[in-house]
Every structure is written in C-alpha cells, then in structure tokens.
Amino acid sequence: MRLLHTMLRVGNLDRSIAFYTDILGMKLLRKHDYPEGQFTLAFVGYGDEATHSVIELTYNYGVEKYELGTAYGHIALGCDDVYATCEKIRAAGGKIVREPGPMKHGTTILAFVEDPDGYKVELLGVN
C-alpha cells in the first residue's frame, strides 16, 4: 500500500489551483467536472500520481467556505532552504503565517504558509 492523495474541500477552485501551482510550484495533474454530482475535482502535485502522493482539491457547487475544524493539522512540504522558499512564496503573493526559524523545542527549520481557504502548509528543511 501507499498514500495516494489528501483531499481538501475548497471554496474557489481556480483560486486554489493558482495557489498550489503558481505559489507552491505544483502541477495541475488532472481536473474533472461532475455536473450530476455537482462537484469538480482537481489533482495537484509535484509528480505523477503513479509514483507520488498528491492533493485532491474538491469544489462542491455553491459552497464558498468551510469550517476547518480542530482535528485537521497541516500538509508538510520538504524544501532545501525554508528561508528562500518563504521569500519566493511571499513575492508571489502567498501568506506566511509562521516565519521561518527553528521549531519550538528543537532545531529543525520550519515555516507555515496558508492557502486561500485557510489550510496550513508546513515547509520543512530537508537538508
């Protein structure tokens, strides 16, 4: 078995696709509209679904906002330089909600950004 995808419900599919592709550098892998079910799915990621885990963005017609709840945590992305990645994200219009620096009670460098729907994305130094 392997992890295939994580699904996030979004209030504006085009805005979310732009965030994950233009700001975080993912690729739109596929998108399909299901008019009878009144929803559209878009899959984004850094590689093809055959070998990589991806994110499924689900837009339900007419729903512009969701309550995130208290159980959801975040998505984590590894990067070589958290500081430089945050600067690129900021320059592209992304929202940094925790500036880069060492984690509390540790030395791992991390930061958090927020997507257009309020989902947190952790950036972790992997070098």
Q: Give how far the C-alpha of residue 59 lies from the chain's centroid of Cα atoms, to the nearest Å.
A: 15
d(CA 106, CA 28): 35
Catalytic residue (one of 36, 56, 67, 122): 122
d(CA 20, CA 40): 16
d(CA 13, CA 64): 10
Closest CA to 85 of 6, 23, 7, 37: 23
d(CA 22, CA 127): 24
Does residue 56 carry a catalytic annotation? no
> Which residues form the catalytic set?
122
